[in-house]
Amino acid sequence: MKNLTVSRFRISKLHNEEWFRFHTELITLLIACGVEILELVRIFPLYEALYKEADRLLEMLRLSFATVDTTTADNNRSAMYRSLRNITKSLLSALDPAERVAATKVYAVIEKYNSSITRKSLSARTAAIDNLLQDLTQEGGDINLSAEVQLLELSKWTNNLQTTNEAYKQSLAERTEEGA
């Protein structure tokens, strides 16, 4: 066996993950060497129970509040998108022919992005919502349907979708920053 040199360190100075890794390796070594041989049979079950409790608590910390906020923000923007889509779909039956034509145009654009917004990854959803909002507002998208949105009085809904999408982006940035 090689001569091992252990640098002196204070376990209290370790960060959570480092501290937990130390105890994980220690338990592995104790089991490999034999708890009976090391004469730790009496205290090892208590140590192992405390180790498992620390693992449970650290797992709760890993599932951070930012993750919960990000999930909530994603759910909010999904609900807002569905609301905008459903309202526009209902306007396809408007009495005014000009509103029906406008609703048909707006709904066609919404449907263009629907599969990306409802079935793709979170980053693809974000990009699709950004593109949809550009097309529905005067922000320079491929299609400018801002007049139709005004006629149908959907500005409130597009603004709410914009707000919820920005809230999601902010929450994701906070989560990323927290992870770093």
Query: Rounded to two decimals, what is the model's pTM?
Result: 0.63
Full DSSP string of 50-95: HHHHHHHHHHHHHS-HHHHHHHHHHHHHHHHHHHHHHHHHHHTT-S
Q: Give the tens place of pLDDT for each residue, 16-71.
A: 778 888 888 888 888 888 878 878 888 888 888 988 998 888 777 666 666 777 88
Judge whether residue 86 has pLDDT over 80. Answer: yes
Q: Give the tens place of pLDDT for each residue, 126-160.
A: 999 999 999 998 766 567 888 999 999 999 999 99
SS3 43: coil
> What is the model's pLDDT at position 24?
86
Judge whether residue 1 has pLDDT over 70. Answer: no
> What is the model's pLDDT at position 180?
59
